[in-house]
Structure 1
Amino acid sequence: MTEQAEFNQGLIDFLQDSPSPAHAVLMMEKQLAKAGFTALNESEEWQLTPGQGYWITRGACSIIAFRLGEQAVAETGVRMMGAHTDSPCLKVKPKAELLRQGCLQLGVEVYGGVLLHPWFDRDLSLAGQVHFRNKAGKLSSALLDIKQPIAIIPSLAIHLNREANKNATVNAQLHLPPILGVDESEGASPNLVLRHWLATWLRDAGHEVAEVIDYDLCFYDTQPPALIGLEQEFISSARLDNLLSCYTGLKALLQSDKQTQAATSLLVCNDHEEVGSASAIGAEGPFLESVLRRLSGNEQQYQRMIARSLLISCDNAHAIHPNYADKHDDNHGPKINAGPVIKVNANQRYATSSETSALFSSFCDMAKVPYQHFVVRSDMGCGSTIGPIAGTKLGVRVVDVGAPQWSMHSIRETAGSKDAWYLSQALQAFISEWDGADILLAES
C-alpha cells in the first residue's frame, strides 16, 4: 500500500468511526495517546516538557492538541491548524417521541445548514452522548453509537405529489421526524420510550445505568465511506465537511514527532462551527485563547507569540460542479484532485490576506503539491469558517484553505482521493520545514 493509499484508508476509518463530534474527538484522542501525547486537565496546573505532545478537550466535542517546541513560543510563535468537529445533521429533541398514524417517530431539530432532500430514504442510526444516573445514584456519561439502521424518513410518492421534481419543499417540523417502527401500544403515551431504549443499549455495552437523564444525539446515515470512480478518484462519505480537515490536521501534527521542532505546533478542532461558533467550546469561545495564554506565560510574551504565529484554518471548499459550472466565478472554480484551495473574500468572510495566501502557497511549493484559489461569484453570498472568528479574537494572522468537495452539507459528500493527501503534505511543510522568516520579514 502506498503512503497516500494508507492515508486515505485511515481517513475512511476515521469517518466511519466518527458519527458525532464526541466520537470524532475520542478517535483523535486515541491516535494522540498511541503517538505518546499526554492528556491535560484545564483545572490543574500544567508542567510541560519541550518536545512532548499534549491534548486538552472541552465539552467532549472540542479538542486542542499541541507539541511543545524546543524554543519559547514568544520567540518562534505557534504554528496553528484549525478545523471543526461538527457537521449539519438532524438532532433528537429532548421530548422526542411522536405517535402518528400508528407509527412511532422521533422529533428532530435541524442542526446547521442541512441539505434536506438527501436525508429521505436513507438507512439511519443514532449516535452521540448520553448522560445517566448509575446504580450508585451518581451522574455519569457515555458515548453511544447504535450502528445498525433503526430509522428511515420515507419520501412521499410522486403519485401523491406530481410537482415533486419541480418545486418540492421540506417542512422541518412536519416532514423530517424519522420513523422507528409501528406502535402497538393501543394509544398509550410513548413518552420515555427513547430513554428506555438508550438505557438498554448502554447496559448491553457494559454501563451500569439506572436512569437516562439527558442526551445529545444525532441521526446519521449508516452507509460506510467508500472510494469511488473508475480509478477510485473520489472519496464519498458523510461528514467530509469537516472531519476531513480534522484528520488531515491531526496527521500533520503527528508527523511532526519525526524530528525535533524548534517551534510549537498546534491543532484546534472546535464544535459548533456550523451554527456560528458562539459557545464555550466553539471558535468564538475562550478555549484556544486560554490554552495559548498558558503556553506563553504572561501578557508580554503572549503578544509577542501572537505576532509571530500563523493559523491555517482548514475547511472544505466548493469544487466546481460540471452540471452547475455557472455557479462559480469563471476564474476561481477549484477542481477535484487539483490540490488544496486558498479561499479569498474581500468582505472578510474568509480571513485570507495576500500575505497569508503567499505563505500558504509557499508551503505547497515546499511540499511539491498543487494549489488553487476560490472566490465566490460577486452576485452570490459567501459562507464562512472559524478563520475570521479566530483572527478577530486573537489578532493572529490567518489563511483560510480547504480540500475541494461536492455536495457540501448533504448527508453524503464527495471529495478527491488526492486532495486530502495534498493538504496534509502542505500542512506538514508548514510545521516541519518553514523557518518562520517570511512572516517576520513581512513585519519589518
Structure 2
Amino acid sequence: MSESAHIHDLAAFVSASPSSYHAAAEVARRLDEAGFTVQRETDPWEAGGARYVVRDGAVIAWRSPDAVAGPVGFRIVGAHTDSPGFKLKPEPSAYAYGWSQAGMEVYGGPLLNSWLDREFGLAGRVVTRDGEVRLVRTPAWLRIPQVAPHLDRSVNESLHLDRQVNLKPVFGTASLDLLQAVAGSLGLHRDEIDGHDLFAAVTEAPQVIGVTGEFLASARLDNLTSVHAGVVALADADAASQVQVLACFDHEEIGSGSRSGASGPFLESVLRRIASGLGWGSDEFERALANSFVVSADAGHAVHPNYPHLHDPDHRPTVNAGPLLKVNANQRYTSEGPSTARWLRICRAAGVPTQPFVSNNAVPCGSTIGPLTATRLGIESVDVGVPLLSMHSARELCGVEDPAWLAQALGAFYAEADA
C-alpha cells in the first residue's frame, strides 16, 4: 500500500471507529475480508489457521501453523482501541436555565479545553432488555459551550474547567431525554435499553492538511494509528514458522485493569488456548513464551515547536521522520538494549527510518501496554509508535508518512526469520 493510499485508509479506519467497540468491529470486518475466521470464546478452540476473537472493545487475532514439531514463539503486536474523552453517565439528562444538558464522566486524561465549542455525537454500545448488544453512533448532538470573555475577563489568562460544573454539554432547549433519543435512533423505546457504554465522539472527518499535505488531523490517532498499522501488517503477512498475533486492548487510557485490558487475562488466555490447540503442554507453553517478542505500538510525542523546552534537548523527534523508539529508564517503556537492537534490525529489513524518544528528566512520561504485558507474561518487549502533536486532544496531528512506515515495520516483524 502506498503512503497516500495508507493515510486515506487510516482516515477511513478512524471514521469507522468512533469508539473502542466500533474499532473492534472494524478490525473484525477487515480480518474477515482478509480470510480470518471468528473464534468464539465459548466454543472449542480450533488449531492452526487465521482466527480472531472479540471481547467487548478488544480484539486479538492470530495466524498459526497447522502443526509444529515443538513449541515456537509468539510474535505479538500490541495496541489499544480506546481514547481519552467523556463517557455518558447512567441517567444523563438534566434541564436547567432553559437548556437540556448531558451528564458525562471524564474518561482517562483528555485535553479538556480541546472539547470546548466542538460539536460531537455519542458512540458506543447499548444493551437491550433481552441481552442484545447494539452499536450506536449518533450525529453531532452535543456541544460544551465556552464562557465568553465579556463574562469572565480572566478566561484567556487562567482557564479553569471544573469537571463537574463546566463540562456539561448542551443538546437542546426543551426538557429532553437523551437516552430516549439514542433509543429512537435504533428504532427502540427508551425502556428497552437496560445498559449503555456511550462516549463523546468527534464528528469532524479526518483531514490531510498543510501547504504540501504533510499532516493528518484527526480524532483518535492515539492509538488507532497503531491498531490500523497492526491490522494492515497482519492481513498482508505470509504464514511464518512462529505464531503471529495482533492484540488490540481496551481501557489503556484508564490503566488497563479490566477483562479486556492489557492487565487482564485476555491475551494470556488466548495464547494458552492457541498452545493447547497445537498440542503443547504447560512446559512447552512456557518455552514458547521465552521465545516470544512483543512490539508494543502506541503513539508518542513529536517535538512541539511552541514548547521545545518540555522535550529532551538531544531527543526531539519530528513527524515524517519515522516511528519512535520509546525509551525510559524507569520502565514506563520496555525498550532495552536487546529489544532496541531487534527493533533496529526490523526497521532496516523494512527499509524504514526510526527515531529515539526519551522524556525530559523534569517532565514525567506516560506509559503503554508494553510494561503491563511484560509484567504479566514475562515476554521481551519494545515500545514504539507514531509521533504526534496534541496528544489526548479531541483532534490530534500526525505526519502522513509515519503511519505507513509503522505498518511496514510491523510487517517486517511478522515476516522476520526466527530470532
Q: Bin the TM-score by the shorter chain.
A: over 0.9
Partner of residue 317, structure 1:
300
2:158 to 153, 161, 167: 167
1:371 to 346, 354, 359: 354
Q: Kindly indicate whether the alpha-carbon contact (under 8 Å) linking 1:74 and 1:302 is maintained by their aligned counterparts in 2.
A: no
SS where residue 213 of structure 2 aligns? coil
1:132 to 121, 128, 135: 128
Partner of residue 32, structure 1:
31
Partner of residue 176, structure 1:
167
Of stretches 64-73 and 348-357 in structure 1, the one that deviates more from structure 2 is 64-73
**Root-mean-square deviation (Å):** 1.4
1:403 aligns with 2:386: yes
* Cα shift at 1:198: 1.9
How far apart are the structure 2 equivalents of 1:420 and 1:63? 20
Partner of residue 55, structure 1:
52
1:234 aligns with 2:215: yes
SS where residue 172 of structure 1 aligns? coil
How far apart are the structure 1 equivalents of 2:15 and 2:326? 28
* Cα shift at 1:260: 3.2
Q: Kindly indicate whether the alpha-carbon contact (under 8 Å) linking 1:198 and 1:212 is maintained by their aligned counterparts in 2.
A: no
Partner of residue 141, structure 2:
150
Sort the Cα spacing of 1:26 and 1:79 in 2 relative to 1 into closer, same or farther, 3 A.
same
TM-score, normalising length from structure 1?
A: 0.91
1:43 aligns with 2:42: yes
Partner of residue 296, structure 1:
275
CA distances 1:220-255 after superposition (whole Å, capped 9, x unpaired): 221100111111111110000001100001100001
CA distances 1:90-138 after superposition (whole Å, capped 9, x unpaired): 11100111111110001110000010001011111111101112xxxx2
SS where residue 166 of structure 1 aligns? coil
Partner of residue 91, structure 2:
95
Partner of residue 442, structure 1:
none
How far apart are the structure 1 equivalents of 2:370 and 2:295? 8
SS where residue 158 of structure 1 aligns? coil
Q: Kindly indicate whether the alpha-carbon contact (under 8 Å) linking 2:63 and 2:239 is maintained by their aligned counterparts in 1.
A: no
SS where residue 404 of structure 2 aligns? helix
How far apart are the structure 2 equivalents of 1:74 and 1:354? 29
How far apart are the structure 1 equivalents of 2:14 and 2:120? 16
How far apart are the structure 1 equivalents of 2:371 and 2:244? 20
* Cα shift at 1:208: 8.6
1:271 aligns with 2:250: yes
SS where residue 21 of structure 2 aligns? helix
Partner of residue 394, structure 1:
377
SS where residue 383 of structure 1 aligns? coil
TM-score, normalising length from structure 2?
A: 0.96
How far apart are the structure 1 equivalents of 2:70 and 2:58? 25
CA distances 1:330-351 after superposition (whole Å, capped 9, x unpaired): 1111110000111111111111
Sort the Cα spacing of 1:73 and 1:23 in 2 relative to 1 into closer, same or farther, 3 A.
farther
- Structure 2 unmatched runs, 5+: none
Q: Kindly indicate whether the alpha-carbon contact (under 8 Å) linking 1:73 and 1:295 is maintained by their aligned counterparts in 2.
A: no
1:194 aligns with 2:186: no
* Cα shift at 1:299: 1.1
Q: Kindly indicate whether the alpha-carbon contact (under 8 Å) linking 1:196 and 1:212 is maintained by their aligned counterparts in 2.
A: no
* Cα shift at 1:156: 0.3
**Seq. identity, %:** 41
Q: Kindly indicate whether the alpha-carbon contact (under 8 Å) linking 2:79 and 2:249 is maintained by their aligned counterparts in 1.
A: yes
How far apart are the structure 2 equivalents of 1:411 and 1:47? 41
Aligned length: 415
One-letter amino acid of the counterpart of residue 144, structure 2: I
Q: Kindly indicate whether the alpha-carbon contact (under 8 Å) linking 1:77 and 1:263 is maintained by their aligned counterparts in 2.
A: yes
1:65 aligns with 2:61: yes
SS where residue 241 of structure 1 aligns? helix
One-letter amino acid of the counterpart of residue 232, structure 1: G
Partner of residue 233, structure 2:
252
1:83 aligns with 2:55: no
Q: Kindly indicate whether the alpha-carbon contact (under 8 Å) linking 1:310 and 1:396 is maintained by their aligned counterparts in 2.
A: yes
How far apart are the structure 2 equivalents of 1:311 and 1:386? 10
SS where residue 164 of structure 1 aligns? coil
1:109 to 105, 126, 129: 105
* Cα shift at 1:71: 5.6
SS where residue 41 of structure 1 aligns? coil
* Cα shift at 1:72: 3.2
SS where residue 352 of structure 1 aligns? coil
One-letter amino acid of the counterpart of residue 72, structure 2: T
* Cα shift at 1:14: 0.5
How far apart are the structure 2 equivalents of 1:327 and 1:357? 24
- Structure 1 unmatched runs, 5+: 438-444
CA distances 1:251-297 after superposition (whole Å, capped 9, x unpaired): 000011xx332221100000000000011111000000011111223
CA distances 1:295-344 after superposition (whole Å, capped 9, x unpaired): 22321111111111100000001000111111110111111000011111
Partner of residue 325, structure 2:
342
How far apart are the structure 1 equivalents of 2:106 and 2:97? 23
One-letter amino acid of the counterpart of residue 266, structure 2: F
Sort the Cα spacing of 1:362 and 1:76 in 2 relative to 1 into closer, same or farther, 3 A.
same
How far apart are the structure 1 equivalents of 2:45 and 2:195? 32
One-letter amino acid of the counterpart of residue 374, structure 2: G
How far apart are the structure 1 equivalents of 2:366 and 2:160? 23
Give the 4+ runs in structure 1 shifted more than 2 A. Answer: 69-76, 207-210
Partner of residue 17, structure 2:
18
* Cα shift at 1:210: 6.2
Partner of residue 435, structure 1:
417
1:420 aligns with 2:397: no
* Cα shift at 1:4: 1.7
CA distances 1:26-53 after superposition (whole Å, capped 9, x unpaired): 101100011110000111211223xx21
Task: Write the mapping of 1:118-129 to structure 2, written as runs, cut at 5 A.
Answer: 118-129=114-125
SS where residue 76 of structure 1 aligns? coil
How far apart are the structure 1 equivalents of 2:102 and 2:25? 27
